């Protein structure tokens, strides 16, 4: 009998943990019962009308969905090419797309009877969203954050603590997102019964990649509806930054089977191409197993996880979603890179032309979009996922654009 060929969407949502050769569930045995329970609950909620009603009501009432679909007429005119639009996920409560899967997973955790939530965070947006949802639902919350990110994302650390979360700075390794993930897994292994690990991207062991994609796909669903309503047709290209892959999969999922829509993921090119200078997994990574799943990871010559760098904490991660690895192999998603310098320039360009300040993560997508738009005809349509807003990056962008102002502000704080 001839095998039935599934669409990309069905391949992801019907997956039992693998996307082509990628994915899986490579964890200590003590966690397997928890993951099996999460996988079973995830399958159940897909057809549970009451759960889905609560999910969408919470997304509307608490997070503020739908988010805006915003034309960028001034910037489009300045570039002189394609018409640019952005999906403003920064308008979500807590300032980024992360709250979409935080609401979904927290409701699922309550369904499982869990009262303690742990999470990892890099840029702080996932931790901030987790803390906010836990406060609303009455759940205990602990967030792990690499020491470097803990220092460079101080506004989000404050918000998490104000919301009642315990924020733990991780001193091991490179003290960034990768080490926060490891610390969260160690906590989960030590406290498997009472704890739910609210993982922050479309990575990790089954069922997290497909589950986070499922909770994020509302982004692309809204883009489809809004773009048709605004322009009369689908976009020619959708562009998103890629760290682990949650905002990219949220944007891309609804268009995976529309092959006329080009899907482009932009990784962190950092400050160079040498190991430790970037976080471009699909450009320079190797296939391996780490943190519970099989995908592309940045590795050294003997297979150890290599250090990474990005000006944006949320992209400063060694691995990428197994779903994106599969889509890259299939040629459905194209991957590019943008440097630290290009991302910082894109922040200033968008701010001054359109009055919108994006997160540094999202700025990588804008940097590539500006370059791409210039090469396209004026009737072409590009949509960029503005996955978060830029207040969290205050101290990083001030250091770049107004270093003397930042020093004056720091001296005033010390004197006060």
| Cβ contact 381:227 at 8 Å | yes
E runs forming strands in 186-329: 195-197, 237-241, 262-270, 286-290, 293-297
Instruction: Please give the Cα distance from 416 to 333 (Å, whole number).
Output: 51
Name the catalytic one among 277, 321, 387, 392.
387
Spatial CA neighbour of 87 closest among 103, 65, 109: 65
Residues 6 or more apart in contact with residue 264 via CB below 8 angstroms: 237, 238, 239, 240, 333, 334, 335, 336, 368, 372
Is 267 tagged catalytic?
no
CA 142, 144, 149: angle at the middle one, nearest 5?
Answer: 135
The residue behind tokens 């590009």 is: 382
Is 387 tagged catalytic?
yes
Name the catalytic one among 120, 277, 291, 336.
120
Residues 6 or more apart in contact with residue 232 via CB below 8 angstroms: none
What is the β-pairing status of strands 69-71 and 286-290?
unpaired
Name the catalytic one among 63, 76, 89, 98.
98
Instruction: Please give the Cα distance from 199 to 184 (Å, whole number).
Output: 9
Q: What is the DSSP letter of 205?
A: S
Instruction: Please give the Cα distance from 247 to 245 (Å, whole number).
Output: 6
- Rg of the chain over all Cα atoms, to the nearest angstrom: 20
Q: Hey, what are 41's tokens?
A: 């609950």
Is 120 tagged catalytic?
yes
| Cβ contact 372:364 at 8 Å | no
The residue behind tokens 């391949």 is: 11
Give the residue numbers annotated as catalytic, written as ranges.
98, 120, 387
């Amino acid at each position: 009998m001839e095998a039935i060929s599934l669409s990309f969407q069905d391949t992801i949502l019907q997956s039992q943990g693998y996307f082509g050769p990628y994915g899986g569930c490579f964890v200590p045995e003590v966690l397997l019962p928890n993951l099996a329970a999460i996988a079973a609950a995830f399958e159940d909620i897909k057809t549970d009308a009451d759960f889905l009603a609560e999910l969408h009501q919470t997304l509307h009432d608490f997070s503020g969905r739908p988010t805006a679909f915003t034309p960028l007429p001034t910037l489009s005119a300045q570039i002189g090419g394609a018409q640019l639009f952005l999906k403003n996920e920064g308008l979500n409560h807590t300032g980024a797309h992360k709250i979409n899967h935080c609401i979904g997973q927290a409701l699922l955790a309550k369904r499982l009877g869990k009262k303690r939530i742990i999470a990892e965070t890099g840029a702080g947006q996932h931790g901030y969203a987790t803390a906010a949802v836990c406060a609303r639902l009455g759940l205990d919350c602990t967030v792990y954050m690499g020491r470097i990110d803990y220092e460079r994302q101080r506004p989000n650390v404050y918000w998490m603590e104000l919301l009642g979360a315990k924020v733990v700075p991780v001193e091991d390794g490179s003290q960034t997102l990768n080490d926060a993930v490891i610390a969260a897994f160690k906590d989960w292994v030590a406290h498997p019964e009472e704890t739910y690990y609210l993982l922050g991207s479309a990575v990790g062991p089954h069922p997290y990649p497909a589950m986070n994609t499922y909770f994020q796909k509302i982004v692309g669903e809204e883009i489809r509806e809004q773009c048709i309503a605004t322009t009369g047709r689908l976009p020619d290209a959708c562009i998103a930054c890629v760290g682990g892959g949650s905002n990219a999969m949220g944007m891309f999922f609804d268009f995976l089977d529309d092959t006329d829509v080009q899907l482009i993921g932009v990784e962190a090119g950092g400050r160079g191409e040498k190991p430790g200078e970037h976080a471009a997994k699909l450009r320079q990574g190797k296939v391996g197993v780490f943190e519970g799943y099989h995908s592309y990871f940045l590795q050294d010559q003997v297979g150890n996880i290599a250090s990474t760098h990005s000006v944006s904490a949320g992209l400063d991660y060694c691995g990428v979603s197994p779903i994106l690895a599969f889509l890259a192999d299939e040629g459905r998603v194209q991957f590019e890179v943008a440097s630290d310098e290009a991302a910082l320039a894109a922040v200033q360009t968008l701010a001054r032309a359109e009055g919108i300040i994006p997160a540094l993560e999202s700025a990588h997508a804008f940097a590539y979009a500006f370059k791409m738009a210039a090469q396209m005809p004026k009737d072409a349509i590009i949509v960029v996922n503005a996955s978060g807003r830029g207040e969290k990056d205050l101290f990083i962008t001030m250091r770049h654009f107004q270093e003397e102002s930042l020093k004056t502000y720091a001296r005033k704080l010390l004197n006060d």
